[in-house]
């Protein structure tokens, strides 16, 4: 290790004191730590971040100050998500955050990822190393393609890139910093699998944790979409960055895109405006339809029957899901979700469904249970009937449709559910939201609507649409009112939004 003179040690101590002042001021850090406007540097033509970047960094600082982390007691995570068009400096923001956290929080630990290994290596991590080299305190750090660390603390004060393949999810686990900051930065987060985000959540439980998601909104599902436009917006500081407002985007190219494709085209929405694509012809249920049903307030009539749908698991990774609906209300009674691995013994589902059929929910029992006939349904349904439960019907998803405009029973049920969503109320949970908006569809040669097969959906989004299919099963057949199940003086309940 080279010998450092007392003068240099003193200067470095003074620098450390200066940088410590920016603990809750990332904008101040960025303006102080990089050589803005200095001749001969890469930043010679720039005087600092553009207005949107400044606002973003100010909001991060405000969130830090609100939490008042004392170095001991854990605080709620900083959760920031930004959906943006092309050329707005997403990877640059990621680099600034890494340098700010690494410089102001001793013994922090971070993970940086992107949608592909190429994006991670050549863009995101390349920006981190590029900006770190320009730091006024660059001599504090050392980096390779595999890690950035504080010299002398390689294993306890570092940030590392990690690919976002699901099989690499362990790289995102175990990242805890009780007395410092555990942080995650997701670049082009729209295409990062949900499994990776789920594992990363485990690193946000102690200390002063932070998570940042940046991306181009190429999908109308996934974590980036939920945090900026969907069911998780209320948990996140979210925003949209229009490429036309960025100081760094190619305005001439943007003008050509708008002229060639139109301002309302999905191409421009995604690549310029930072907005998700509109529901395409191949998406069966639009997200707008789902979001409106999440917010809607509905009333139920006294004689409307309670219907249950049960989608049985095909394997350990799927869920046995039971959902309830009464008229326009599919929100008041919470769903039941049991991992498939726990129901390899059919008797487990027999006992659970017998309990469902015997339980009184809000003053009434289930009038009819529709159960997916695939997998373990045969012995389950048979045993339930032996136990005296006659109010159940097995439904074959591949059977003929009850309506000639749909191909197969599954398409019919989803079609009836889609019509119902225009007046219905559903619960506000990510599982159901993703399931309902996941399937595509096509028209057969006989102009019948055919829903995308389940195995294709699983291949595309990584999981089965258990919640969506369970709710769809409640539309398998009409169920008449049960007048005897309702007291004459019963008032119809109202179902409020977000309940």
Per-domain residue ranges for the chain? Answer: 13-273, 287-495
pLDDT value of position 473: 97
Strand 494-495 relative to strand 319-325, pairing: unpaired
Q: Which helix (H) or strand (E) holds 13?
A: helix 6-20
What's the CATH architecture for 13-273?
Answer: 3-Layer(aba) Sandwich (3.40)
pLDDT value of position 489: 37
Nearest CA among 198, 97, 193, 191 for reference residue 148: 97
| Long-range contacts of 332-337, Cβ-Cβ distance < 8 Å, separation of 24 or more | 332/362, 332/493, 332/495, 332/499, 333/306, 333/361, 333/362, 334/427, 335/427, 335/432, 335/467, 335/470, 337/431, 337/466, 337/467
d(CA 233, CA 219): 16
pLDDT value of position 483: 38
pLDDT value of position 424: 97
Nearest CA among 399, 392, 398, 411 for reference residue 349: 392
pLDDT value of position 376: 60
pLDDT value of position 378: 72
Specify whether the CB–CB gap between 205 and 76 falls below 8 A.
Answer: no
3-state helix, strand, coil in the chain (%, to 5): 40, 20, 40
Per-residue confidence in pLDDT tens, the chain, 499 aa = 455 577 888 898 999 999 999 999 999 999 999 999 999 999 999 999 999 999 999 999 999 999 999 999 999 999 999 999 988 989 999 999 999 999 999 999 999 999 888 889 889 999 999 999 999 999 999 999 999 999 999 999 999 999 988 777 888 888 889 999 999 999 989 888 888 999 999 889 999 999 999 999 887 778 998 999 888 888 999 999 999 998 888 899 999 888 888 887 778 888 899 988 775 446 788 878 898 999 999 999 989 999 999 998 765 667 889 999 999 999 999 999 988 777 677 788 899 999 999 999 998 999 999 998 876 667 888 889 999 999 999 999 999 999 999 999 999 999 999 999 999 999 988 889 889 988 888 888 888 899 988 888 877 676 789 999 999 999 999 998 863 333 333 344 444 443 3
Which CATH fold topology does 287-495 show?
Nucleotidyltransferase; domain 5 (3.30.420)
pTM to 2 decimals?
0.63
């Amino acid at each position: 290790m080279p010998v450092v003179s007392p003068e240099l040690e003193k200067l470095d101590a003074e620098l450390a004191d200066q940088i410590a002042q920016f603990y809750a001021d990332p904008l101040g850090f960025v303006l102080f730590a990089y050589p803005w406007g200095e001749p001969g540097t890469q930043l010679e033509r720039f005087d600092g971040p553009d207005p949107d970047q400044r606002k973003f960094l100010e909001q991060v600082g405000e969130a830090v100050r609100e939490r008042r982390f004392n170095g001991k007691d854990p605080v709620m995570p900083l959760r920031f998500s930004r959906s943006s068009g092309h050329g707005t400096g997403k990877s640059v923001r990621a680099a600034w955050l890494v340098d700010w956290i690494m410089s102001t929080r001793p013994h922090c630990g971070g993970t940086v990822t992107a949608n592909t290994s190429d994006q991670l290596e050549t863009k995101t991590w390349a920006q981190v190393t590029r900006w770190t080299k320009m730091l006024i305190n660059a001599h504090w750090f050392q980096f390779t393609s595999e890690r950035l660390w504080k010299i002398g603390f390689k294993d306890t004060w570092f940030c590392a890139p990690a690919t976002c393949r699901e099989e690499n999810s362990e790289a995102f686990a175990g990242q805890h910093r009780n007395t410092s900051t555990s942080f995650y930065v997701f670049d082009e987060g729209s295409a990062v699998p949900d499994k990776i985000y789920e594992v990363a959540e485990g690193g946000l439980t102690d200390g002063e944790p932070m998570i940042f998601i940046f991306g181009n909104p190429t999908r109308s599902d996934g974590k980036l979409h939920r945090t900026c436009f969907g069911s998780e917006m209320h948990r996140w500081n979210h925003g949209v960055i229009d490429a036309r407002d960025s100081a760094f985007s190619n305005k001439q190219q943007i003008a050509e895109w708008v002229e060639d494709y139109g301002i309302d085209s999905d191409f421009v929405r995604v690549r310029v405006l930072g907005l998700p694509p509109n529901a395409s012809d191949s998406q069966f249920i639009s997200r707008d339809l789902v979001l409106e049903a999440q917010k809607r307030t509905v009333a139920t009539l006294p004689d409307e029957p309670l219907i249950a749908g049960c989608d049985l698991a095909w394997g350990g990774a799927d869920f046995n899901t039971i959902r309830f609906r009464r008229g326009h209300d599919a929100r008041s009674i919470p769903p039941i979700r049991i991992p498939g691995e726990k129901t390899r013994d059919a008797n487990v589902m027999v006992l659970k469904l017998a309990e469902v059929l015997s339980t009184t929910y809000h003053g009434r029992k289930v009038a009819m249970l529709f159960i997916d006939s695939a997998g373990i349904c045969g012995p389950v349904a048979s045993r339930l009937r032996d136990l005296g439960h006659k109010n159940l019907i097995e439904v074959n998803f591949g059977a003929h449709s009850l309506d000639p405009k749909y191909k197969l029973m599954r398409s019919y049920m989803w079609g009836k559910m889609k019509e119902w969503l225009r007046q219905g109320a559903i619960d506000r949970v990510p599982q159901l939201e993703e399931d309902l908006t996941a399937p595509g569809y096509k028209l057969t040669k006989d102009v019948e609507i055919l829903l995308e097969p389940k195995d294709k959906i699983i291949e595309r989004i990584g999981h089965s649409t258990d919640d969506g299919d369970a709710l769809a099963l409640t539309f398998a057949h009409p169920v008449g009112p049960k007048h005897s199940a309702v007291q004459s003086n019963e008032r119809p309940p109202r179902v409020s939004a977000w309940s």
